[in-house]
Structure 1
């Protein structure tokens, strides 16, 4: 209510985001419980909002953003690096692998996980706690998203082989704990406010999937990576909900999931008062590309059409 009185309105795409857009002044406020990030295009307007909120609530201004919800923000000039180094070291400490030997990959390409491939773990809660922590680590580490997705599929009854896969991820993080997401200020994707006549470069999305990759239920795993300029802003690696009858269908479903994410991102950018060109979506399967582009084939895909996002 206090933010509404100050002229903010709640975002429809992100319930924790509040936006103030008045006479060319933009202020964005992100709230999570009692933690707040505030930024905008006018420092005076940002300071006024902080002053007004301080008169209503007990606030403490911590200055420039450095740490938020376990994510460290490192400033390099006008660029930012998001890192979870402290959080990852804490995971290693709780797992007892602080002094483990690093490996160069989070998962072996020949490693296959099955429900009964080895004896069950004596303490499955340790496995589940570690997996939950690794899921949060994927916020800044897209390089472990696929491996974490794999080991998450056996949380109900983890075995020693599954725990070996988790330890491989942890050993990889041991040697790459200093890695983070780099966001460049000057990327060629200069988003402009509505009042500007210039447009931003395309948002680029890359989609892919494996066909019937799971040996248990033969479902495919789809994934995407979405870039704004050279900045990676969204990614996913997730098993598809249904079995695909061809590689084209598997890739087509992955494209549909990517398009749904792109529509959400476009809506978010619109709410932020920014504009961009139509996104560019890349896929390495010609069959799926033709299926998406040619309405003649749509009659043959009634069994998958319900997965496509609705757009006006």
Structure 2
């Protein structure tokens, strides 16, 4: 159990109450919890899973392997090959499951882990090789983690990106984001989009939507715990088409295909009257309309 707070007296009272009801031991300041190491210094708190990585290397027999420079190769093109040789399903699922947990402190492997986790139901040998490459990358970066520093501000910034039509099987795009709170990396995600984007701009817009959603959640969370944001948040995107369209209100014609697809998604589930009413409400909330 982790007990945290800024009222030391209240913390002591809580621990005394717990000791009276349960057989417990106070281990002091947290140093290791569920495979995550917590290291403290004058610079801040550093979270890593070095022991977890070393145990994973020993389990896979790669302690003496040559480290890989990147967690996944460029333009990997991983997919389910027709007639491809199958890998050990149980071993693959256990390995990928551990990599997913490791991504809690390793944002640098989030994309690669997201790719290999798509083949859990039918892993093939090339998928196993990709998963083991991640492990070999970890060999040279076992000490990596996340540093949380004390800052004088609580500004929220985010970055988004999308890999358009990157999946060879269904041509769906992969989008990701990561957000900073007070200059510290706090959340990140890489996930395949639910629908097929007709253009890179559409894929980027969908990625931006996920980033905005995360920023809004963080702002509301800060407000609920008594630290309401006093400044606006910034979201960065590197797609020139998406930036150009967002800066030019007259460019709506370029996103007509996106708008039509949104209408089709809703009309497929509702009758026309209900669909129009729902779209009007969601446009007011900024869900479907860009402005």
SS at 2:132 equivalent: helix
2-side partners of 1:237 and 1:178: how far apart?
22
Deviation at 1:264, TM superposition (A): 1.8
What does 1:1-312 align with in structure 2 at a 5 Å threshold? 36-77=1-42, 79-116=44-81, 119-185=84-150, 187-189=151-153, 200=154, 202-276=155-229, 277-289=231-243, 297=252, 300=256, 301-304=259-262, 310=285
Call closer, same or farther: CA 1:163–1:271 in 2, change over 3 Å. Answer: same
| C-alpha RMSD over aligned residues | 2.6
1:117: Cα distance to partner? 6.9
Contact kept, 8 Å, 2:87 with 2:128, in 1: the verdict is: no
Moved more, 297-306 or 202-211: 297-306
What secondary structure sits across from 2:242 in the alignment? helix
Report the Cα offset of residue 292 of structure 1. Answer: 5.2
Q: What is the deviation of 1:78?
A: 5.3
Q: What residue in structure 1 maps to residue 279 of structure 2?
A: none
1:293 Cα deviation from its structure 2 partner: 6.7
Q: How many residues align?
A: 265
Gaps of 5+ in 2: 267-281
TM (norm. structure 2) is 0.82
**1:64, distance to aligned residue in structure 2 (A):** 0.3
State the TM-score, normalized to the length of structure 1. Answer: 0.77
4+ residue stretches of structure 1 with deviation over 3 A?
Answer: 289-300, 304-312
Looking at secondary structure, tell me which structure has more strand per residue. 1
For the residue of structure 2 that corresponds to 1:39, the secondary structure is coil
Q: CA deviation at 1:127?
A: 0.7
String of CA shifts for 1:119-140, please: whole Å, max 9, x gaps: 4235211011100100000000
Distance 1:139 1:54 in 2: 31
**Does the 8 A contact of 1:117 with 1:159 survive in 2?**
no
Q: 1:272, CA displacement in angstroms?
A: 2.3
Q: How many angstroms apart in 2 are the aligned matches of 1:303 and 1:175? A: 45
After TM superposition, give the deviation of residue 182 of structure 1 in Å.
0.7
Match of 2:2, SS state, is strand
CA contact (8 A) 1:82 1:180 kept: yes
* Higher percent of residues as helix: 2
